[in-house]
Chains A and B, each alone.
Chain A
Amino acid sequence: MDFLGSELLAIAPVLSVTILSLLVLVVESLVTDSEKISYWVSVFGLLICGAISISTLDLTGNVFNHMVNVGGYGSLFATLFTTAALLTVVLSRDYLRKEHVSFGEFYLLILFSTVGMMLMAAAADLIIIFLGLELMSICLYVLAGFMRKRSISNEAALKYFLLGAFATGFLLFGIALLYGAAGTTNISYIVENYGKLAASPLFWVGLGLLMVGFAFKVGGVPFHMWIPDVYQGSPTTVSGFMATGAKAAAFSAFILVFAHQEFESGEKVHTALAFIAAASMIVGNIVAISQSNVKRMLAYSSIAHAGYMLAGLAAGNQLGRTGILFYLVTYTFMNIGAFGVLSVLEREEEKNLTFDDYAGLGTKRPFLAALMSIFMLSLAGIPPFAGFFGKYYVFVAAINAHLTWLVIVGVLTSVISVYYYLRLVMMMYFQESELQFTQPSSVSSLAVLTIAALAVVEIGVFPSSILSLINNLY
């Protein structure tokens, strides 16, 4: 019993968010008009859970019979996910009211999907990765269709659901074949016995299917086709959560399975990853140019960003892993910020979402325009903002791994990306329009956006603050 107690204490981050979710579930079922209570319980609960996650950063080892890793890597991601969930919850409140879908279940689903993400990052076993992934995905399917009276939201949910379940099938078949080859689903056992297992064709087919499943979840080309539609149709704050939290969770599991010293001799894996990375950067950035809807533009840009991060994974070295983690942290802040500004300016029925609607924002809403400019410049990778260093570390890792061609593709496509990010900034400051932005925005939303913008600037000016944290993990 004592043994179990210490194990439960060791997985405190996951456990605390689970308890919080169940608490909100009880509130939802017992209290009438529960939206307000659920909101405040979620906000304060997530603050506490974030603090618990940070406090477990120094732990090591694994618990529950080699099922779950403790501390370090998982805790860093747990902190990231709780932060993303917190920012999303606060931003969502105004947005849901504006869209007349203000129900407490929203916060519940965000919390449960956060539990799934944390499990994925803490997994020491393929079974846990599968369970975490499904817990996260099923909640996100519902969240995508949260505005259930609106066809575009239904459509996004159906597309996400069908293609997400399809990808789960591939992932699961990959797990089954790896289990067939290795006789276990333990990740570290499979990695340690890589040399022995590499002779078996089952192993390679399984690894390939697993890669397809993960590439689908992170949105790498050619498995990206769901991203634009789902991000465009989902509630805007949910799109922000999917683009950051869900993507970071998928990457955390991707790194757990694929980024190992032992695989460095495995040229096949890295070549495949490099091609997915190059295709994502090219397709994402080039198609984003032609978009007139800002939300859809951000969706394509998130495909491109997945490409940059995959370049770090393809490099397969220490610097690459550090680079991806750094990139994910910066990307979370800048993308939740960008989607957050959209959600503040959006009006009912998907209005105010095209580039033309942003004309003259610089004079009408100078503060929001300034925040949006910070996020756009950071996404474009312009120093001194955080996005620059994210790209820098990933590309340096790729050069060290002799993937110079990939870095050339990456740099060229990020030059292309500057065009569409700056087009929005140009629209805001150098165009005039009759359109009025009358609806007020609440203090809490503006505060959250300011925090995100400050984080982007802070990490950009002092990248070592996050980098030293990540380096301590390895």
Chain B
Amino acid sequence: MSGIPLNYFVFLSAILFTIGVVGVLTRRNAIIVFMCIELMLNSVNLSLVAFSAFHGNTRGQILVFFVMAVAAAEAAVGLAIIIALFRNKQTVNIDEINIMKW
């Protein structure tokens, strides 16, 4: 942790996380919503790596690998769901996906 204080990393990851949350809540395209969720996960990875270096143990970095693997699995399933939906409805706009009320 030469030079850059821990606070900077924490604030940056908090800002990225917030951008992700706001994106999930405001965007209407299912794929963009999903990209915002990925942004949230990556901001967590950033803070985990920073904490890991700060504490001087590798636990955080190990968790980052798990998070990346899980995010990849989640992406595969999520995109498959979106494709199945698109085949039936010809749309990925979550405002039009409303057979049941939200």
Contacts and interface: CB of A to CB of B under 8 A. Distances in A.
Interface of A: 127, 130-131, 134, 138, 141-142, 145, 148-152, 154-159, 161-162, 165-166, 168-169, 172-173, 175-177, 179-180, 183-185, 202, 225, 228-229, 232-233
A313 to B, nearest CB: 25
A176 B47 contact: yes
Given A162-B33, A179-B63, A225-B102, A154 B20 contact: no
A464 B62 CA distance: 44
Given A131-B66, A150-B88, A173-B43, 11 more contacts: A127-B59, A134-B73, A138-B74, A154-B81, A162-B24, A162-B30, A166-B40, A172-B40, A184-B57, A184-B59, A185-B63
A179 B37 contact: no
A152 B100 CA distance: 8
A154 B89 contact: yes
B56 to A, nearest CB: 9
11 contacts: A130-B67, A130-B70, A142-B81, A151-B88, A156-B100, A159-B97, A162-B24, A162-B94, A173-B17, A179-B48, A232-B100
A166 B100 contact: no
Contacts of B10: 180, 202
A202 B6 CA distance: 12
Nearest to A149: B88
A169 B40 contact: yes
Interface string B45-60: 0011001001101011
B17 A127 contact: no
Contacts of A179: 48, 51, 55, 59-60, 63
Interchain residue pairs A-B with the least CB separation, the first 6: A169-B40, A154-B85, A180-B51, A183-B55, A229-B100, A148-B84
A177 B47 contact: yes
Contact of A155 (B21, B48, B85): B85
A145 B84 contact: yes
Interface residues of B, number: 45
Contact of B100 (A134, A165, A228): A228
B100 A161 contact: no
Interface centre among B10, B13, B70 (most CB of A within 10 A): B70
B48 A157 contact: no
Nearest to B40: A169
Nearest to A126: B63
Nearest to B46: A176
Contacts of B33: 162
A259 B74 CA distance: 30
B100 to A, nearest CB: 4
Given A172-B41, A176-B44, A176-B47, A165 B81 contact: no
Given A183-B57, A185-B59, A161 B77 contact: yes
A398 B98 CA distance: 39
B24 A166 contact: yes
A233 B84 CA distance: 15
B99 interface: yes
Contact of A233 (B51, B60, B63, B100): B100
B20 A169 contact: yes
Contacts of B54: 180
Given A131-B66, A179-B51, A229-B102, A141 B78 contact: yes
